[in-house]
């Protein structure tokens, strides 16, 4: 087999894998994870269900790829001027519009806590990066005098992330919970410099 032909097949395979991820993400966002069979995803992609497992070693690997796509889409929320704390409320608004993915995230994050779980490393790295990004933003704001400086930025970051996840979980049970407003209130109350 020629090298160019092998590259073409690899590119096609990568393209198909991406198509599966995008389709699964969209289907889970609208129909939810529990209500969606992988057969439905395969039909929409135009392949047999068994073909999905040619691209993913199992259902959990596909779900982890869908969660990573959810994160990628969330990172694209807003514009390049928003970062760290300023992105929290817009991301909460987006999550409110994608109940299926939000439910999938909540369930997967709770079940992946065991180090042997297929998604454990994904969530560990995700939380590490999230806390790092937010604490860097808080630290910069502390130096500018915009945020209280009497608490470690990593600790404040962890509290903001915990509030986000907690508000999101409450919203899954009660749609009257306004995640974005809750986060804005937390940031307004918790972070202002001592006056």
Q: Where are the domains of the chain?
A: 3-190
When pLDDT is averaged across residues 5-33 and rounded to a whole number, the result is: 80
When pLDDT is averaged across residues 76-88 and rounded to a whole number, the result is: 74
pLDDT for res 100:
85
DSSP states along 20-77: HHHHHHHHHHHH-STT--HHHHHHHHTS-HHHHHHHSSSHHHHHHHHHHHHHHHHHTS
When pLDDT is averaged across residues 87-93 and rounded to a whole number, the result is: 91
pLDDT for res 103:
87
Highest mean predicted confidence (pLDDT) among 84-88, 92-96, 126-130 = 126-130
For residues 40 and 24, is the Cβ–Cβ distance under 8 A?
no
Total Cβ atoms within 10 A of residue 98: 20
Q: What is the mean pLDDT of the chain?
A: 87
pLDDT confidence band for 11 (50 / 70 / 90): confident
Look up the pTM and report it: 0.81
Output 183-189 pairs: Cβ under 8 A, ≥24 positions apart.
Answer: 183/88, 183/89, 183/92, 184/89, 186/159, 186/160, 187/85, 187/88, 187/160
Task: Return the half-sphere exposure (C-beta side, CA atoms, 13 A cut-off) of residue 119.
Answer: 24
Q: How many Å apart are CA 66 and CA 47, to the nearest integer?
A: 18
Task: Return the half-sphere exposure (C-beta side, CA atoms, 13 A cut-off) of residue 176.
Answer: 0
When pLDDT is averaged across residues 75-104 and rounded to a whole number, the result is: 82
Superfamily of domain 3-190, CATH level 4:
Tetracycline Repressor, domain 2 (1.10.357.10)
94-123 pLDDT per residue, tens: 889 888 888 889 888 988 999 998 889 999
pLDDT for res 2:
55
Is pLDDT at 195 greater than 80 in this prediction?
no
pLDDT for res 79:
54
pLDDT for res 8:
62
Is pLDDT at 77 greater than 60 in this prediction?
yes
């Amino acid at each position: 087999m020629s090298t160019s032909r092998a590259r073409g097949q690899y590119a096609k395979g990568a393209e198909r894998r991406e198509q599966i991820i995008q389709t699964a993400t969209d289907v889970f966002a609208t129909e939810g994870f529990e209500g969606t069979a992988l057969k439905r995803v395969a039909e929409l992609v135009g392949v047999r269900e068994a073909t999905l497992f040619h691209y993913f070693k199992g259902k959990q690997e596909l779900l982890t790829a869908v969660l990573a796509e959810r994160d990628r889409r969330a990172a694209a929320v807003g514009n390049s001027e928003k970062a760290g704390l300023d992105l929290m409320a817009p991301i909460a608004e987006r999550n409110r519009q994608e109940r299926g993915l939000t439910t999938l995230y909540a369930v997967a994050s709770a079940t992946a806590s065991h180090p042997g779980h297929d998604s454990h490393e994904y969530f560990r790295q995700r939380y590490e990066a999230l806390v790092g990004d937010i604490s860097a933003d808080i630290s910069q704001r502390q130096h500018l005098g915009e945020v209280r400086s009497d608490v470690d930025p990593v600790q404040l970051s962890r509290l903001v992330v915990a509030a986000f996840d907690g508000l999101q979980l409450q919203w899954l049970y009660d749609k009257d919970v306004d995640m974005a407003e809750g986060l804005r209130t937390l940031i307004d109350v918790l972070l202002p410099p001592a006056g």
